[in-house]
Structure 1
């Protein structure tokens, strides 16, 4: 009997560890759908190429996959959406991979959503601004792509927190950079804040950490809960874990980018 109990406990432990590994892989480790390593460097594409560049909010494995939502829209049939999001990346990291992950894809359009990790890591504003400018200037020098910079959504839904006050400087840098390098500016932050204020949100204290992020991923991938349901469980409206966008938040990005892409469709792709 004792041996059977030990075996049963061992099997339960192995199962728990296995599920933990699965949740961790799906949330943090696996690649985005159609990453540059698979999509680029194979010669000219048959249709327009859109590269979405950034960090985890673009990669879409922890939170809404808004790039995938665009890919599934019937009006973009024939488009190639390349997901150049990388979990944990900063503006400096994206600057280092701009040639391999953006330019090599020969894009017709590029969206850039990066900077939350710069805020959390305390990257100086001047450095962040320089990185953004260098990224866009490199894209414009090497391709004929239209470029759009998205402002950063709130970090945590307490809009008056010191962290969100710091975020204001980074968003100002995004808007200034877009004007200086002649890129388009998409007001993600403004629309997210407006949503929170209209729906009585914006006061939940910040609580992001690895445990919160892992728990959110486990709820979604192992229990089948939607990202919006995970948010509600954490007392949030747009963010699943105080940092990453839920499906409501992802829909804001999808609509902003879709509207921007539609503005340029009449001209058609300009492919050398």
Structure 2
């Protein structure tokens, strides 16, 4: 509306239609830009968190076989905790350590994999690299998906057997981190059977055993206090990735924001949790 004074009285006149139309256009444009920015940010966070391949994946490092005169290859095989795009990249941590510059680290982690999935791609993503050493961290998705324990044990045995038969690599089986930080939860009691299978398989098949679950569990018990109840889901995982990639928060900061310490979203590793994996694998690699 526009106000004018006529003969000492105020008279309100409606704004010109062209001005109202211009205002509406500006509002629509602003809303469209806001929507486009939101969609772009959402797409970026989703890609970086769930889709982007890890650094030096098998498709890049091993597609044409090992490089002549190249460094000894260490392959880290597993699921999202190994891929390291949602949570700490412990394979990248090892790659950057001066003590292990003599190795080439290949990240054969793949989001969402179970033991059956890893077994299916083992020849292409691990054996083809002709590794000197292989770490296997797999099973959290088996626990969450309800894969029968005996089937998990069979898959793990087949993985180690194939690595032993088709490579000359040292093999280490890594026990599964806690699933959520409530050590006594039903899910972690269930996971205990899978971790027992990891240890038993390593002993029976002549592989080494890396006690990640034990180290993390001991840390959480010594920390004390009440743990945040388990609450992993896609939304929480996406928000964790968005906070890290869009807002620049460290994985430790993301974990603290969710009332956690070693896990950013009850499943994937914080910086502190990732450092525990890297330290244990580093100790294993340093043994002769």
Question: Do they fold alike, i.e. is TM over 0.5?
Answer: yes
State the alpha-carbon separation in 2 of the partners of residues 41 and 139 from structure 1. Answer: 18
Structure 1 match to 2:190: 166
Structure 2 match to 1:270: none
State the alpha-carbon separation in 2 of the partners of residues 56 and 27 from structure 1. Answer: 10
Counterpart among 241, 246, 252 of residue 217 in structure 1: 241
Equivalences for residues 106-121 of structure 1 within 5 A: 106-121=130-145
Counterpart among 102, 109, 120 of residue 96 in structure 1: 120
State the alpha-carbon separation in 1 of the partners of residues 72 and 210 from structure 2. Answer: 20
What TM-score comes out, normalization by structure 1 length?
A: 0.95
Structure 2 match to 1:105: 129
Structure 2 match to 1:268: none
2:156 is aligned with 1:127: no
What TM-score comes out, normalization by structure 2 length?
A: 0.90
Unaligned runs of 5+ in 1: 265-272
- RMSD, aligned CA: 0.9
Q: Contact 1:196–1:202 (CA<8 Å) still a contact in 2?
A: no
State the alpha-carbon separation in 1 of the partners of residues 247 and 65 from structure 2. Answer: 41
State the alpha-carbon separation in 1 of the partners of residues 124 and 223 from structure 2. Answer: 41
- Could you list the runs of 4 or more consecutive aligned residues of structure 1 that deviate by over 4 angstroms after TM superposition? none
- Could you tell me how far 1:44 is from its partner in structure 2? 3.3
State the alpha-carbon separation in 2 of the partners of residues 42 and 118 from structure 1. Answer: 31
Quick one: higher RCO (CA 8 Å, sep 6+), 1 or 2?
Answer: 1
- Could you tell me how far 1:198 is from its partner in structure 2? 1.4
State the alpha-carbon separation in 2 of the partners of residues 197 and 133 from structure 1. Answer: 31
Alignment length (residue pairs): 264
Q: Contact 1:159–1:202 (CA<8 Å) still a contact in 2?
A: no
Structure with max Cα Rg: 2
Counterpart among 160, 163, 181 of residue 136 in structure 1: 160
State the alpha-carbon separation in 1 of the partners of residues 269 and 225 from structure 2. Answer: 15
- Partner secondary structure for residue 106 of structure 2: strand
Counterpart among 228, 244, 247 of residue 204 in structure 1: 228
- Could you tell me how far 1:204 is from its partner in structure 2? 1.4
Counterpart among 4, 21, 28 of residue 43 in structure 2: 21
Structure 1 match to 2:56: 34
State the alpha-carbon separation in 2 of the partners of residues 121 and 70 from structure 1. Answer: 30
Structure 2 match to 1:257: 281
- Could you tell me how far 1:201 is from its partner in structure 2? 5.0
State the alpha-carbon separation in 2 of the partners of residues 97 and 210 from structure 1. Answer: 25
State the alpha-carbon separation in 2 of the partners of residues 77 and 120 from structure 1. Answer: 36
Deviation track 1:67-125 (CA, whole Å, cap 9, x = no partner) reads 00000011222311000000000000000011001100000000000000000000000
Deviation track 1:221-268 (CA, whole Å, cap 9, x = no partner) reads 00000000000000001000000010000000001000000003xxxx
